[in-house]
Amino acid sequence: MTIAPDQVVSIRYTLKNDAGDVLDSSSDGEPLTYLHGHGNLIPGLERELAGKKPGDKLQVKIAPAEGYGEYDKALVQRVPRRALKGVPNVRVGMRLQAQTGRGERAVTVTQLTGDLVTLDGNHPLAGQNLNFEVEVGEVRTATAEELAHGHAHTPGDPHH
């Protein structure tokens, strides 16, 4: 069976940046299982996986536009600390939900300067090329329940 929309696919992967640093990987022995064609993976990776079959190995480089987006300076804002008064111990690297020009979104505290806090609404991997090494594991037809939910179900998955 080859990978096509509405199939549940297991992959093992390693993600590196252009410098060769490992940014992410499927955890020890545990593949990532996803529902193909439902936006569960970044668009570039889904496109590369389409038509592949169990046992296939691929190396792909995905540009930001098909990954986590270009880095957008408009998503960076500086606010006075008092704007975060509900947040104890604000520190660099902290992830928060904040109101931005594009609605509520996750932001990262990237700088603390005097009374000002810099909040960055870009995805941490925005603007980076994504270099994936992927091995395709199992490919199966999704169940009706998986299609209704828009994601894969795996044994022991605690989300239900």
User: CB under 5 A: which stretch of 22-30, 84-92, 122-130, 147-155 binds Zn ion?
Assistant: 147-155
Residues 6+ apart with CB under 8 A from 92: 109, 110, 111, 112
Pick the closest to residue 62 from 128, 123, 112, 149 (CA basis).
128
CB 15 within 8 A of CB 35: no
The two structure tokens encoding residue 71: 């880095």
User: CB under 5 A: which stretch of 10-18, 62-70, 107-115, 143-151 binds Zn ion?
Assistant: 143-151
* Size of residue set near Zn ion by CB under 5 A: 1
Q: Helix, strand or coil for residue 93?
A: coil
CB 10 within 8 A of CB 31: yes
Identity of the residue, 140 or 149, whose beta carbon is nearer to Zn ion in the bound complex: 149
Q: Shortest distance, CB of residue 40 to Zn ion, whole angstroms? A: 11
Identity of the residue, 19 or 144, whose beta carbon is nearer to Zn ion in the bound complex: 144
Is residue 38 near Zn ion by the rule CB under 5 A?
no
Identity of the residue, 12 or 149, whose beta carbon is nearer to Zn ion in the bound complex: 149
Choosing from 12, 105, 140, 149, the residue that interacts with Zn ion (CB under 5 A) is: 149
Pick the closest to residue 61 from 18, 12, 26, 122 (CA basis).
18
Position with the least CB separation from Zn ion: 149
Dist. CA 92–CA 120, nearest whole Å: 11
User: CB under 5 A: which stretch of 12-20, 60-68, 69-77, 148-156 binds Zn ion?
Assistant: 148-156
Q: Shortest distance, CB of residue 134 to Zn ion, whole angstroms? A: 24
The site for Zn ion (CB under 5 A) is made up of 149
